[in-house]
């Protein structure tokens, strides 16, 4: 009833309302139909009850920066169209945060509005209050406060963006996340590679290793506190672990002392208590599992050929991997104990680097064929294959924790420059991430707690 009254009230003023509201009684972004019409959303600068200094600048400055980060997050999804703050006709003062002037925002054709405030707590931490509104119904959709150190203000902004994304799409957000990847520089014949860590939007970038040793294929532990990767330290290519809190790096070793040959392609199992990886011995490569407590190693595959790139299902019951046992690189699924190995990819070309979706129903992969490397997805039984990108060399997919966005790296045909890109599940909204140097082998963290 309320919706109907509101509709009649504004139909004369805003023709757009006719288009936007009848489509759905509840303001919602339909995430499955792609991004033909991203939702216009306004994120004015967050207010402050009293301007005050913090370790990261004044609350007034933080209010503007928080709003900018939220707008950038939502815009990067392709599902929202943040309106240009230069067009805003009204400021949202502290008293307006919970009582915004909806008429002014309707005039700008905003469908959703995010307001909020930044305040300093007695202990020096800050509170970022976040509110989301349906502009046409003047209804509040969500509200949440986030307390963090002043230095952590970006995380509060990402949390607010995740709240808005979640409320309007019905999906969990993915903005408060990090990316570990391999930063590349120098000629390709003597490429220098470093592990690097950054926020999902490229902020807070830092190098984890100094480039002295070749490093490859980092992956997060489920708790986000440890990274596993491959390093050529001491000319011994093998799997390493990097503890982020301490910076300590250790080679992964079994209870028996050491692995006899190259270990690579490491991934954590759900829960983080064990890992899967590959080991090559005498030209034969198989998938193994190691318990991180007992360091007991179990061999999961034994077929002659290359079995590698294992990726566990989110419930840990199954593992998808690639094998050339049938002649060329193809995808196989097995139970977590190695039993029941079954091929799932049967299309033309080769399939590699499978990654099980966090939602459990989809597998992303690299497809090689027709002179291209492309990122694709299929159901876990191999049906419903769809290719999402088309380029000279797209490789190494990694899922956003909500399973809606895939990051990968793209190598240019000419010059060989590498960069990180994202694409959504509809194959739309391809975006290149900004990194200080060339970039490859991205891995998306879980949603931070």
Nearest to 73 by CA among 141, 180, 166, 170: 166
User: Hey, which residues between 219 and 278 contact another protein (CB under 8 A)?
Assistant: 235, 237, 261-262, 264-265, 278
User: Which residue stretch of 33-41, 49-57, 87-95, 322-330 sits at the interface with another protein (rule: CB under 8 A)?
Assistant: 322-330
Nearer to another protein, 352 or 358 (CB): 352
Nearest to 178 by CA among 145, 215, 221: 221
Least Cβ distance, residue 445 to another protein (angstroms) = 20
How many residues interact with another protein (rule CB under 8 A)?
Answer: 40
Least Cβ distance, residue 292 to another protein (angstroms) = 21
- Out of 285, 313, 345, 398, point to the residue binding another protein (CB under 8 A): 285
Put residue 21 in one of left, alpha, beta given phi > 0 → left and psi -120 to 50 → alpha: alpha
- Out of 222, 416, 427, 446, point to the residue binding another protein (CB under 8 A): 416
- Out of 373, 399, 421, 444, point to the residue binding another protein (CB under 8 A): 373
d(CA 166, CA 292): 35
User: Hey, which residues between 193 and 212 contact another protein (CB under 8 A)?
Assistant: 193
Q: What dihedral angle (degrees, nearest 10) is formed by the CA atoms of 67, 73, 79, 80?
A: 20
Burial zone of 360 (CB within 10 Å; 0-12 exposed, 13-18 middle, 19+ buried): middle
Put residue 437 in one of left, alpha, beta given phi > 0 → left and psi -120 to 50 → alpha: beta
Nearer to another protein, 121 or 261 (CB): 261
Degrees to nearest 5, angle at CA 65 with 60 and 69: 150
- Out of 58, 148, 280, 335, point to the residue binding another protein (CB under 8 A): 280
User: Which residue stretch of 4-12, 61-69, 104-112, 324-332 sits at the interface with another protein (rule: CB under 8 A)?
Assistant: 324-332
Q: How much helix, strand and coil, in percent to the nearest 5, is found in the chain?
A: 15, 40, 45
Nearer to another protein, 88 or 232 (CB): 232
Degrees to nearest 5, angle at CA 187 with 182 and 191: 35
Residue 397 touching another protein (CB under 8 A): no
Nearest to 313 by CA among 253, 227, 381: 381
Residue 391 touching another protein (CB under 8 A): no
Nearer to another protein, 163 or 252 (CB): 252
- Out of 95, 122, 245, 282, point to the residue binding another protein (CB under 8 A): 282
Least Cβ distance, residue 420 to another protein (angstroms) = 14
Residue 394 touching another protein (CB under 8 A): no
Torsion sign (Cα): 68, 176, 439, 390: negative
Residue 189 touching another protein (CB under 8 A): yes
Residue 398 touching another protein (CB under 8 A): no
User: Which residue stretch of 80-88, 144-152, 172-180, 185-193 sits at the interface with another protein (rule: CB under 8 A)?
Assistant: 185-193
- Any alpha helices (H) in 137-288, and if so which ranges? 153-169
Cβ pair 229, 219 in contact under 8 A = yes
**Chain contacts with another protein (rule: CB under 8 A):** 187-191, 193, 214, 216-217, 235, 237, 261-262, 264-265, 278, 280, 282-283, 285, 306, 308-309, 322, 324, 328-329, 352-353, 366, 368, 373, 393, 395-396, 411, 413-414, 416, 441
């Amino acid at each position: 009833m309320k919706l109907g009254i509101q509709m009649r009230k504004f139909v004369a003023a805003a023709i757009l309302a006719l288009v936007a509201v009848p489509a759905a009684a509840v303001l919602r972004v339909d995430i499955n139909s792609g991004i033909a019409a991203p939702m216009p959303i306004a994120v004015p600068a967050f207010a402050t009850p009293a301007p005050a200094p913090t370790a990261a600048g004044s609350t007034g400055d933080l209010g503007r920066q928080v709003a900018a980060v939220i707008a950038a997050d939502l815009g990067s999804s392709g599902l929202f169209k943040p309106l240009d703050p230069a067009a805003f006709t009204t400021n949202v003062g502290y008293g307006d945060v919970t009582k915004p002037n909806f008429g002014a925002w309707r005039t700008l054709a905003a469908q959703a509005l995010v307001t909020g405030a930044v305040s300093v707590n007695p202990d020096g931490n800050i509170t970022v209050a976040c509110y989301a509104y349906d502009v046409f119904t003047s209804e509040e959709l969500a509200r949440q406060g986030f307390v963090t150190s002043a230095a952590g203000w970006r995380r509060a902004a990402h949390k607010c963006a995740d709240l808005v994304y979640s409320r309007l799409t019905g999906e969990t957000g993915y903005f408060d996340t990090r990316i570990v990847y391999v930063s590349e520089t120098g000629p390709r014949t003597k490429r220098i590679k470093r592990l690097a860590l950054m926020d999902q939007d490229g902020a807070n970038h830092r190098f984890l290793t100094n480039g002295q040793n070749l490093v490859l294929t980092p992956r997060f532990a489920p708790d986000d506190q440890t990274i596993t990767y491959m390093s050529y330290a001491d000319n011994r290519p093998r799997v390493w672990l990097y503890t982020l809190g301490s910076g300590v790096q250790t080679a992964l070793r079994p209870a028996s002392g050491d692995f006899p040959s190259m270990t690579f392609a490491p991934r954590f199992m759900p829960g983080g208590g064990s890992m899967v990886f590959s080991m090559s011995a005498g030209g034969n490569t198989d998938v193994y599992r190691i318990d991180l407590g007992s360091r007991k190693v179990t061999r999961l595959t034994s077929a002659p050929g290359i079995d590698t790139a294992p990726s566990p299902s989110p419930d840990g019951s199954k593992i998808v991997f690639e094998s050339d046992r049938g002649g060329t690189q193809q995808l196989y699924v097995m139970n977590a104990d190695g039993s029941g190995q079954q091929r799932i990819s049967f299309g033309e070309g080769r399939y590699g680097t499978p990654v099980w979706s966090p939602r459990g129903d989809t597998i992303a992969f690299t497809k090689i064929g027709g002179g291209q490397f492309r990122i694709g997805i299929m159901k876990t039984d191999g049906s419903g294959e769809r290719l999402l990108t088309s380029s000279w060399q797209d490789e190494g997919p990694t899922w956003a924790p909500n399973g809606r966005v895939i990051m990968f790296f793209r190598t240019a045909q000419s010059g060989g420059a590498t960069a990180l890109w994202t694409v959504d599940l509809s194959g739309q909204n391809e975006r290149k991430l900004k990194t200080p140097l060339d970039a490859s082998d991205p891995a998306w963290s879980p949603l931070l707690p």
